[in-house]
Amino acid sequence: MVGIPGEIYFIRETDYHTGELTPFTKIGIVRDHRERTSEQRLTEHQTGNPRPLVLYRVVHSPMVEWIETQLHHRNSAHRVEGEWFNFDENQLSAAILMATDLAAQAKEALEMLNAAELLGRQFSDGTTIQPKDETRRTFMTYWLNKSVSLRVEKFQSKLKSALAVAHSLGEAGSVLGAVREHEGSWSFDQKLFRARYPEIAAAYTHLESQQKSRFQINKLDDQSKVDALIPDETWALLEHAESVLSDGIGRATAQARIGQLQLELRAVKADADWVCELAAAEIKVDCGSAERIDGVCLWKRVEQKVNITDWVGITNDYAELCRDAYTFKSGRKSVHLAQAQAPAPRTD
């Protein structure tokens, strides 16, 4: 079923000399099925930390993993490292309130999410149904938030490209992210083995029935209707980020500003993605066992026969032959945007 219950905890550290709480707070979770408590996590985190830690607040939720991800993304602008954040008292209160609100949303949405998951295991009946008014509104809600998410992804893609170019020229530091080098490696090529030894592959292959599921929400007929509903502050943030990025990322001050903007946009995207997930689940529930809601979605769930090959058995039984089917994949580069606040640029 959807979601794992547990606790979201806020652990704060205290100054060793004054005993006062510092701005640094860790946001983490414990899962109920792990038979651990937030108090035990406090003890574990205290090991290796010279400053005394305090379990400041605990929020219970049926979907702790989702809420932790949302909190981390939505507070990216305050993240300093990993799960540690730099909050003033007002920002911390807002983060705790956010966790409480998200927990309430998760509790309210859990039944619908579980219902959508169960329907996904059933076969569709091939029928098409007409949308209810509420389904049409949910459809528009989905595309409003999906449009925001896609625009943020477009900016992130541009930023990654700019970071890759700047990195190749030695112009960009680590405040925006990192370009990682991945070494080449050897891997077993199943297609090559099958081509060389078709009889062996066939002997280890059997036919198996599986459910094939395809869920697709229809495209909008008129994107401008949704664009008009995007909040002005979201447009302003996107346009400002695009403008700053167009000026280049060579200077440290520009990197710091763009880094801050992309973290703010990451928070916007996290909120939009969650609304999209809820809207999609609601549309699935409205679809039920039907295959299509006219003008809204297609949700085809059918049985299909699939050839399954026991590659573990082949590699165990024909180790020598498998060694001849290894191919080398060249190394590659990948760009990863920063997920924590950038340090203030030097002015000297």
pLDDT at 333 over 90: no
CA 75 and chain centroid, separation:
14
| Phi, psi of 343, deg, nearest 5 | -65, 150
Structure confidence by residue, pLDDT tens digits, 51-95: 889 999 999 999 999 899 999 989 988 988 888 999 999 999 999
- Which pLDDT belongs to residue 51? 86
Residue 45: predicted pLDDT: 83
pLDDT at 294 over 50: yes
Q: Is 114 exposed, middle or buried (0-12, 13-18, 19+ CB in 10 A)?
A: middle
146-177 per-position pLDDT tens digit: 999 999 999 999 888 888 887 777 765 556 77
Give me the residue label for tokens 């004054």: 18
Q: pLDDT at position 296, please?
A: 97
pLDDT, position 348: 37
pTM confidence score = 0.82
Tell me the average pLDDT of the chain.
Answer: 89
Distance from C-alpha of 279 to C-alpha of 25, rounded to nearest angstrom: 32
Among 124-138, 225-239, 249-263, 322-336, name the most confident range.
Answer: 124-138
**Confidence grade of residue 302 (pLDDT, cut at 50, 70, 90):** very high
Greatest pairwise CA separation for the chain in angstroms: 75
Confidence of residue 200 (pLDDT cuts 50, 70, 90): very high
Q: Is the pLDDT of residue 1 over 60?
A: no
* pLDDT computed for residue 165 by the predictor: 80
Task: State residue 2's pLDDT score.
Answer: 65
DSSP code, position 15: -
Q: What percentage of residues in the chain have a pLDDT greater than 90?
A: 65
CA angle 71, 74, 76 (to 5 degrees): 100
Q: How confident is the model at residue 341 (pLDDT cuts 50, 70, 90)?
A: low
pLDDT value, residue 244: 87
Exposure of 110 in the CB half-sphere (CA atoms within 13 A): 17
The string of pLDDT tens digits covering residues 242-291 is 998 888 877 777 777 888 888 889 999 999 999 999 999 999 999 999 99
Residue boundaries of the structural domains of the chain: 1-119
- The tens digit of pLDDT for each residue in 218-254 reads 999 999 989 999 999 999 999 999 998 888 877 777 7
CA-atom Rg of the chain in angstroms:
25
Check pLDDT > 60 for residue 36.
yes
What pLDDT is attached to residue 345? 42
**Can you give the pLDDT at residue 344?**
46
